[in-house]
A and B are shown apart, each in its own frame.
Chain A
Amino acid sequence: MNEAAVESVIPATVDSSGSVIEVRNLRKSFGDHVVLREFNLSLKEEETLAVLGKSGSGKSVLIKCIVGLIPPDAGEIRVLGKSVPDLEAEELDFLRRDLGFLFQWGALYDSMTVRENLIFPLRKHGDKTRQQIADKVEEVLESVGLPDAIDLMPAELSGGMKKRIALARTLMLEPKIIFYDEPTTGLDPVTAKEISELIREVQQQYRTASIVITHDMDCVRITADRIILLSDGINYAEGSYHTLKRSDDPEVKAFFGNN
């Protein structure tokens, strides 16, 4: 077993409840607009949680609060046993070493090649040799099925390829938790299904816990172990795909009705 594989099976730091993420009574407003009110969430090791909700319901705000990109107004956020709002900048940077974030449009650095994009997260955290980094780049590109894209610029990649490379970049630091922000948005149905399947494969290969923010029901069906429906800033409904599919609630049916 190589070093990467050994590291990937080290369990994430869990708190007393056995969760890698605990969110309690989270509140966030922008001016008078309340986005999240008393939102609760917990994520277990190696679990994949999908957060469903209409556009503008606060799904992206939720995960940005969890990783410390947006400060919450109130509530508790614990990630790998650490209270995120209470962390100093350096401590937060250290915690983020264990977190991967796939942004909605990939957020690849335009001015860098695919190789430079992949190496970038290792600048501050890496204690690897040049050869180990090259091997890691090769490994993650193989994992996402794009070994030949290494010297391309982001502008030369299609939408699906950008998502794959962005996922490869999150894998460079072997994160314990990966956040996916609308991973299939803007893709055709075939590519969207491929990306959803890739997310599932990555979860199994790297044994990560994940939160997938989406309103693509195929993506939810393929990737999620558990689902939370976020509506009006609260956990409107929660359960497995099959449980929620049988629900009679009109708002839940609006998502699951045609699936």
Chain B
Amino acid sequence: MLTLLPQALKEYFITTAEISQFARRFFQQVFRPPYEFEELLRQAYRIGYQSLPLVGVTGFIMGVVLTLQSRPTLIEFGAESWMPSMVGISIVREIGPVITALICAGKVGSSIGAELGSMKVTEQIDAMEVSGTNPFKYLVVTRVVAATLMLPVLVVLADSIALVGSFLVENVKGDVGWMLYFNQVFANLGFGDIIPSIGKSFFFGFAIGLVGCYQGYYSKKGTEGVGTAANTAVVMASMLVFILDFLAVLAADIFYDL
């Protein structure tokens, strides 16, 4: 039956099956000792700490732009006082997690894809295996776990910096004080906004790490394969972020009755 399908559709099904197998292998190995804590910390530093400047700047601009663009409309309707709540809910629920995940899909996904792809092409993964180290555990498990744990942290930081950016606009343009602004933000933010947002960030991080590792680990021979691995990792991870976001919003809608 598979032979009757168009080539592109066949490749889609094959890739989906391979990624599922890859994820299954991850779950089989993640809780089994020996644990690579040192490498996990190194990857958490690279994925988390080294993404901070990019995520921080993007978060700040996100807050500033959203406030600047929404302000005239809210003023027109006499709803200027709703600005902190509106920006807070928009950023925490949706814009913060999705934009941060897309930035990480680009930065982290491509970096993992290219790094593992290059290690594969230059036989470093084989060398690791021959030396008695399980390369899947050392390279894949650590990176996927680090991405899963670091993305929610980056999302919280991006949300916070975006709100500070928004506050600065409100302070300069509307003379709104720090206490008043953040009281308004948190008055309308509940657990139903924060928990799904943080929860879906774990899934975004997992998807970015898994797809980056899959593309790199199975990249074809040659430097072209490394480039393709990095590029495909970004495209697939970005697509997965949107699909997961859609599913997360549906789930949140059911559980928290938005």
Contacts and interface: CB of A to CB of B under 8 A. Distances in A.
A107 B122 CA distance: 6
A93 B134 contact: yes
A103 B133 contact: no
A97 B123 CA distance: 18
Given A105-B123, A109-B124, A124-B34, A96 B130 contact: yes
- Category for how many chain B residues contact A: 10 to 19
SS class, residues of chain A in contact with chain B: loop
Contacts of B11: none
A124 B132 contact: yes
A211 B122 CA distance: 21
Interface in A82-125: 89, 93-94, 96-97, 99, 101, 103-105, 107-110, 120-121, 123-125
Contacts of B124: 107-110
B126 A120 contact: no
B132 A69 contact: no
B240 to A, nearest CB: 27
A52 interface: no
Nearest to A104: B123
B215 interface: no
Contacts of A105: 122-123
Contacts of B132: 93-94, 96-97, 121, 124-125
B7 interface: no
Contacts of A107: 122-124, 126-127
Interface string B193-216: 000000000000000000000000
Contacts of B118: 110
Contact of B133 (A69, A99, A101, A124): A124
A225 B132 CA distance: 29
B131 interface: yes
B253 interface: no
Interface in B173-211: none
B161 to A, nearest CB: 30
Interface string A127-155: 00000000000000000000000000000
A101 B34 contact: no
A213 interface: no
A67 interface: yes
Contacts of A123: 133
B133 A89 contact: no
Contacts of A101: 126-127, 130
B131 A103 contact: no
A108 B124 CA distance: 6
Interface string B113-139: 000001100111011111111100000
B126 A103 contact: yes
A194 B225 CA distance: 34
B131 A69 contact: no
A89 B129 CA distance: 10
A105 B124 CA distance: 10
Contacts of A103: 123, 126-127
A208 to B, nearest CB: 15
B131 A121 contact: yes
B167 to A, nearest CB: 40
Contacts of B122: 105, 107, 110
Interface in B68-107: none
A89 B131 contact: no
Nearest to B42: A111
B126 A69 contact: yes
B138 to A, nearest CB: 9
A69 B129 contact: yes
A99 B131 CA distance: 8
Contacts of A93: 132, 134
Contacts of A121: 131-133
Interface string B12-55: 00000000000000000000001000000000000000000000
Q: Which 8 A-B pairs have the closest CB atoms?
A: A107-B127, A121-B131, A107-B123, A93-B132, A101-B130, A103-B123, A96-B132, A107-B124
30 contacts: A64-B126, A69-B126, A69-B129, A89-B134, A94-B132, A96-B130, A99-B130, A101-B127, A101-B130, A103-B123, A103-B126, A103-B127, A104-B123, A105-B122, A105-B123, A107-B122, A107-B123, A107-B124, A107-B126, A107-B127, A108-B124, A109-B119, A109-B124, A110-B119, A120-B128, A120-B131, A123-B133, A124-B132, A125-B132, A173-B131
Given A69-B126, A120-B131, 7 more contacts: A93-B132, A97-B132, A105-B122, A107-B123, A109-B128, A121-B131, A169-B131
Interface of B: 34, 118-119, 122-124, 126-134
